Structure 1
């Protein structure tokens, strides 16, 4: 199979934008992605598109993909809508990589969008809830914060993880998000702030939960046959892995890990021919603070049960040995469901191309993105590698 490369990526700001539509936000992301391609790209170059969205609020449930690609000038380009809850556009990126590797396309757009702030809180909770197990969890009153609270409680009981360690996730990600002009909650918070916030679902409080967001993100994936036309500094998609699991948390044997993430990571590492220690930075799915801690363990960044101590040690800060969520993560940057996975790829592209501004890491070579749907019903992991004279 041919190698696939990431040549550009861009996003809209994340937040609440009553004067924007899902089409206008997608246009902002698409134009930013095109502008980021070092040697330029024409819309006529795009062979295919994959667009992720849940369709919060019920807007354009049928054919939302063509609705946005037509709006940005990709008339006639085959477009497929991808839905895997919060992992929708992460899987859209995977589909783009598959299309390129298979030889069916040379230039593929992968993106996503969501509008989440123009409905009532009750309606938004409904649309969030449809990605959980409906028959037994949602209809009995369980919310996503409630599900992740159960995971947090289980991890605390099993390994001694503390509320303070959960709060360290929020402090770190807000510090990073304050350096990101696209972040929805682009402000710093103190450990005291993060510990004293109102309880949402014990043991999770407000600072342990990501916001609901409007936004869009796009990535451009090309084949090895054409990559030299677009960039002199290629970023290879070194590894891709995906996994699925039961949609309902209650159906699983353990609440202290996400098997879909573990399967996805194993497959991505195997394809990339690396171990977890070879990763220079990661964007992980921190919809709740406990989700980031579980990701550390599921992705092999630390031993099982050590995630709380790992974040508390400072290892995952910008200046740490393994920076995690340099963008601010879902917690600070925001979580427009359909755009989140592609938005993680935007940060990977910025870091590897040296365009991440005040949060830029020192010469990273390899980055990982980790996108989860629901409470772990689906997960996808990508490993991106900057090619150098040594590893080219």
Structure 2
């Protein structure tokens, strides 16, 4: 371990399992990603000082608790310090923040973050109910779910800014097209506007293809002080900015439901820490649990003026050949959304993009941003990763 310094925190290895319907339980999925990440860095589990597990609901989904301790055993990481990071669907982003803090503070010389969730063995209704438990008890008592919030917000946005319904379909079309080239994505099939617009209504005006799937999977990152990065990798990325924020627990208390205050605040803090502005970002992974969320985050992170974000996908600006590619991984929409893994997987995509390792998904990028949203903007972590040059 080292004393606290001003040196940067480096990401020297990353991994992601296949997302989708998996046979293994969460402990198996976590071990798969963790082992792959350690192998990517060429080290064994005993190199790890701190081990963090991003997970929302292993107890609720499969009755499994104590998973960080079990993972330390499975990876041969004993006696590493372990902790579970639960921040609902932004657990992955919160895990990045915790892992960054552990290295930046000098408490750890080598921190492994693994995010994962096992969900597909539950019915859609059961999984939706587990996720809805993050809402305020008064809202939950009245049957409010995140899809219902999404529908209400989408309706308000489309009406307020005179945006065409097709603009949300364009987000789904783009992200499915990107997912075709991601071998780990849950859905690797392109869709067209007509398919999206004619799919079954879930929460009017949103339809089936406006929503991400229920998913199993895991992803991992290995973080070290930059002074040690060369011991693990020839090329690496640095976390130049990371920040978290919260918004009202009760969504209807917000002054403007189409503005995600925690995205605005976490983004502003991450930009300040990185000494960057939105124009410096070359690629972004946004939390498109619902298509409307990509539009809202695009605006709230400063990539478009308020009420203009819907034009980005429609005009091709956020396509891989656009001026700001968004969700090159396929996003949650195509790649899948295993709750605790999603924020980590976003960072895995940005890491690969800034290092030029994204294969057919590769875009021209040195600076990337990942925004991981919990609930309906209740809590958010924004991370900026840059190639070390």
TM range (shorter): over 0.9
Name the structure 2 match of 1:34.
38
- Counterpart CA distance in 2 for 1:125 and 1:306 is 31
SS in structure 1 at match of 2:114: strand
Q: Is the Cα contact below 8 Å between 1:2 and 1:100 reproduced in 2?
A: no
Cα–Cα, structure 1 residues 28 and 107, in superposed 2: closer, same or farther, change >3 Å? same
Structure 1 runs not aligned, ≥5 long? none
CA contact (8 A) 1:108 1:221 kept: yes
Following the alignment from structure 1 to structure 2, what is the Cα–Cα distance between the partners of residues 355 and 34?
18
Partner of 1:2: 7
Match of 1:386 in 2: 387
| SS of equivalent to 1:5 | strand
Alpha-carbon separation, structure 2, partners of 1:75 and 1:51: 15
Gaps of 5+ in 2: 1-5
In the alignment, which residue of structure 2 is the partner of 1:371?
372
Q: Pick the aligned partner of 1:290 from 283, 289, 292.
A: 292
**Equivalent position SS for 1:137:** helix
Indicate conservation of the 8 Å contact 1:6/1:237, yes or no.
Answer: yes
State how far apart, in whole Å, the 1-side matches of 2:226 and 2:363 are: 27
Q: Deviations over 1:13-47 (max 9, x none)?
A: 11011x2111221122112222333xx22322111
Deviations 1:222-241 (A, max 9, x none): 11231121123231111011
Cα pair 2:61 2:119 within 8 Å, conserved: no
Q: Which SS does the other structure have where 1:225 is aligned?
A: helix
The aligned runs of 1:272-291 (5 Å cut-off) are 272-291=274-293
Q: Which residue of 1 aligns with 2:313?
A: 311
The match for 1:83 is: 86
Q: Match of 1:153?
A: 155
CA separation of 1:81 and 1:60: change in aligned 2, threshold 3 A: farther
Q: Select which of 17, 24, 27 maps to 1:23.
A: 27
2:259, 2:103 → 1: CA distance?
Answer: 32
Aligned to 1:63: 66
Task: Report how far residue 61 of structure 1 moved.
Answer: 5.1
Alpha-carbon separation, structure 1, partners of 2:44 and 2:73: 15
Tell me, yes or no, if the aligned pair for 1:106 and 1:225 is still in contact at 8 Å: no
User: Among 112, 117, 120, which residue is 1:117 paired with?
Assistant: 120
2:110 to 107, 112, 123: 107
| Structure 1 contact 243–260 (Cα < 8 Å) conserved | yes
In the alignment, does 2:332 pair up with 1:327?
Answer: no
Aligned-residue offset at 1:209 = 0.3
- CA shift digits 1:218-271 (9 cap, x unpaired): 111111231121123231111011101112211211111110011100000000
Aligned residue runs from structure 1 range 205-284, under 5 A: 205-284=207-286
Q: Is the 8 A contact 1:214 1:336 kept in 2?
A: yes
In the alignment, the residues of structure 2 paired with residue 372 and residue 279 of structure 1 have an alpha-carbon distance, to the nearest angstrom, of 19
Which of 163, 166, 170 is matched with 1:164 structurally? 166
Name whichever of 273-282 and 55-64 sits farther off: 55-64
Distance in 1 separating the partners of 2:188 and 2:247: 33
Q: Post-superposition shift, 1:311?
A: 1.6
Aligned residue for 1:51?
A: 53
Q: After superposition, what is the alpha-carbon deviation per residue over 1:108-156, rounded to whole angstroms, capped at 9, x for unaligned?
A: 01121111111123321211111222x2212101111101111111111
2:142 to 135, 140, 143: 140
Is the CA contact 1:247–1:374 (under 8 Å) kept in the aligned structure 2?
A: no
Q: What TM-score does the superposition give when structure 1 sets the normalisation length?
A: 0.95
User: Is residue 348–residue 368 contact of structure 1 (8 Å, CA) maintained in 2?
Assistant: yes
Conserved? CA contact 2:99–2:111, under 8 Å: yes
CA drift of 1:60 comes to 4.5
The within-5 A match list for 1:175-214 is 175-214=177-216
SS of alignment partner, residue 78 of structure 2: coil
